[in-house]
Amino acid sequence: MTAFTETPFTITAGTGTKDITGSVKATQAENVAAGAILFTLTATKTTTTNTVSYAFTSAGNPGDVGSIATSTDVATITLATGKSFDFDTTPAVTFVIM
C-alpha cells in the first residue's frame, strides 16, 4: 500500500451485535503479487466472551479479487490466488467488509 486515508469511527458500549462503519481509501501498486497483504483490520474486544468476525458483503468483493484470513481479532485482506489488478480496465476496487 502506498497511500491511504481513513474515516474514523466509534462504537457505543452496550450489549448485542455491533455494526461498525468506516472507510479506508488506499493506493496499491498494479503489479502486486497474488497473496500480498492489501490491508489488515483489527478489533479490540472488551471482554473475553465477545467474538469478532469479518466477511465480505455480497457485493463487497468485486471480481473476487480479495481474500480474508482471520486470526483472533485480526483480518488480513490479501490479493486472492490467481487474481491481479488491472487499472486500465478497473481503476478502483471497493471492498465492503462486515
HSE-CB for 69 with a 13 A CA cutoff = 10
* Predicted TM-score (pTM) of this structure: 0.74
Q: For residue 69, give Cα distances in angstroms to 3, 48, 91, 92, 94.
A: 22, 21, 25, 22, 18
pLDDT in tens, 26-73: 778 888 899 998 888 887 776 777 777 788 888 888 889 999 998 878
